[in-house]
Each structure stands twice: as C-alpha cells, then as structure tokens.
Structure 1
Amino acid sequence: MQHTVSTKTLVKASVAAAVVAIIALVTLILPAEYNIDPTGIGKQLGLTSIAQAANAEPAAAQTLAKGNDEFQTIEIIVPAGRGVEYKFAMPQYAKMTFEWLTDGEPLYYDLHGEPEGDTTGYFESYTIATNSEVKGSFTAPFAGSHGWYWKNKSDKPVAVQLMVKGQYDVIGLKQ
C-alpha cells in the first residue's frame, strides 16, 4: 500500500516548521547571540547574559598585548549568575600591580595560576574572597597563566574595571 502526502499536508507542515523556527529565533537565538530580547524570555532564561559576555571579549582583546609600566585598563562583564576568568601569561618571578573594582555588586573571586605546560588540571589559588574592590601586587611563583575567576551571584550583569601593569602577556577572557 502506497501512501502519498497531499499538498495540503505539506503546506501545513511547512507553516508549522516556519512558526517553530521563528519562535526559536525570537526567544532563544536573538537573546543569546545578539542580546536582542523583544519578548523578555531571553533575560528570564539567562540567555542575554551569554551575548553580553561574548561582547565583552572583543573589548578586552583591543587592549595592549604586553604589560608595561603604565596601567592598562580592561573592562570585563560578568553575566548574572555566571562566572568568567581573565588570565595573563607570566614568567616565573614576574611582577604585576593590579586594581579592580565593580560597578557596585561584590563578586566572589579567586586569584590563581596554572603552571605552564601542566596537563593535570593543577592550579594554585593565591586569594579567595568576595569583594567589590581590590588593590594589590603579585609575583608569579612559577611560569604559567595567572589571573582572576569572578563569579556573579546576582541577577544582573556586573562590570569589572581591571587595571594592571607589570610583566605579562595578555591571554584574555576565558569562559
């Protein structure tokens, strides 16, 4: 027995598929990729914070690649309910002076480093706390990547202004 699909059934299926695609575009894709949220559902699902974090990376990448004796300012957006990591490559005993502050909300943070070439997942934490402003200096105990992990426990994105100077190469934002 051969079953043929009528033109009417094909048109109905095509229209239904187009409607589902439009709903997915408006509620999921636009908020997550472009921070465009006409329905507000993207914000409720936390999707707009994905686009905000992705947009923070190009701004950070525009900064100078190498550290120096002048403070370099980097703007980092930590999405609501998420964490981001910003790292620098530093040789052993290299020094960095830093200051960072948020636009209001305190963030959980972990200043830490991973040894160069390590494949075990080892990292060493130097400072773990919750704050909205920190100043200090740091000497790398080993060659590798060193930097901050910030966790935003609030329901709004938090901007971090990070100012650094010293001996390093910028690795940048890791998520």
Structure 2
Amino acid sequence: MQHTVSLKTLIIASVSSTVVAAIALVTLILPAEYNIDPTGIGHKLGLTSIAIAAETDAQPSQSPTGNKGTDEFQIIEVIVPAGRGVEYKFAMPQHAKMTYEWLTEGESLYFDLHGEPEGDTTGYFESYTIATSNEMKGSFTAPFAGSHGWYWKNKTDNPIALQLLVKGEYEVIGLKK
C-alpha cells in the first residue's frame, strides 16, 4: 500500500514548521544566545541570564571600584534597599562614550540617569533619562567632564538587586555616599 502526500498537506506542514521555528528563534534562541529579547519571554524564563553568564565566562572579571573602562563589559551588582534610593557613578571626561545595560529580576525601579559637572559646587546636574522600569540598555556620550550615572529608587518593601553591565571610557566611582 502506497501513501501519497498531497501538495496541500506539504504546504501546511512547511508553513507550520516555519512558524514554530520563528517562534522558537524569537522566544528561546535569541534571548539565550545573544541576550536579545524582543518579547520579554526570555527574561521571564531566565534565558537572558544564560547569555549574560556566557559573556561573563568569556571575559575576565573586574573589581567594581577604581577600574578604568575597557572594550569588555564590566558587570556590577547593586542592591537598592527597600524604600530607599542609591546612586552609582562613573567619572568620565567630556565626549567619553559608555554602553550600558541594567536589569532586575523583574521588579521595577524609578531611575534617573544623570551627570554632574566636574568641580561644580552649585549642586547642578543634568538628567538624561528619567523613568520607571526593570531594565534599560543604551549608550551615551558625556556632554561634559564629571560624574555620570544612575539614581535608583526602590518603592517596594523588599531590597531589589540589579545587575549593571558597562563598557567604555570611564573610571568607576561606585556608590555615592
């Protein structure tokens, strides 16, 4: 007995397998391999941490205080206490560039990415981004020499850990007291 497959069945099977492959690519492979997560599902499943861990394993670890930036990502852990805010800063010369990404395990933080000019005693600062989110990635060029970084505020009753990945032209100042 010979079975024949109709053209319609072949087309349906081909289209179905292409759709399944595309879904797997976007939701599983890109987040796990490349830390690209357009749907957010990879982060919820913990797959983006696989890509970050792979990057970490491939790079030498660096101490978060006093190191100059490099072409490799430096990974910094920051704890934002319950109901409080912290500031983490980098010294950067004018026109220096920094690429960054920070993320929590899902909890959102109010944040202000800003800079303060070197030597200024007036309390002036310039905000670049103010929002509430559980992650952010991007890059910026320092418009002036000084300290640049984030203020994060935790409005919950529990401490929130965040992972900050940075690379570029900077020197770590660290947590601002």
TM interval, short-chain normalised: 0.5 to 0.7
Q: Does the CA contact (< 8 Å) of 1:63 and 1:74 recur in 2? A: no
Length-normalised TM-score, structure 1: 0.64
Deviation at 1:64, TM superposition (A): 6.0
Establish whether residue 110 from structure 1 lines up as the match of residue 112 from structure 2. Answer: yes
* Partner of residue 95 from structure 2, selected from 93, 96, 105: 93
Q: Does the CA contact (< 8 Å) of 1:61 and 1:172 recur in 2? A: no
- Paired letter, 2:126: E
Deviations 1:96-147 (A, max 9, x none): 0000001221000000000000000000000000000101001000000000
Establish whether residue 70 from structure 1 lines up as the match of residue 72 from structure 2. Answer: yes
Secondary structure class of the residue paired with 2:112? strand
Establish whether residue 158 from structure 1 lines up as the match of residue 156 from structure 2. Answer: no
Length-normalised TM-score, structure 2: 0.63
- Paired letter, 1:173: L
Q: Report how many residues are paired.
A: 116
Aligned partners of 2:65, 2:80: CA distance in 1, in Å? 18
Give me the identity figure in percent: 79
Deviations 1:141-172 (A, max 9, x none): 00000000000000000001000000000000
Aligned partners of 2:116, 2:147: CA distance in 1, in Å? 5
Q: Does the CA contact (< 8 Å) of 1:77 and 1:159 recur in 2? A: yes
Runs of 4+ in 1 over 2 A off after TM superposition: 60-64
Equivalence for 1:123: 125
- Paired letter, 2:151: Y
Deviation at 1:63, TM superposition (A): 5.2
Q: Does the CA contact (< 8 Å) of 1:66 and 1:170 recur in 2? A: yes
Aligned partners of 1:142, 1:165: CA distance in 2, in Å? 18
* Partner of residue 148 from structure 2, selected from 146, 161, 169: 146
Aligned partners of 1:83, 1:142: CA distance in 2, in Å? 25
Q: Does the CA contact (< 8 Å) of 1:86 and 1:149 recur in 2? A: yes
Q: Does the CA contact (< 8 Å) of 1:89 and 1:168 recur in 2? A: yes
Equivalence for 1:10: none
Aligned partners of 2:91, 2:126: CA distance in 1, in Å? 15
Deviation at 1:61, TM superposition (A): 5.7
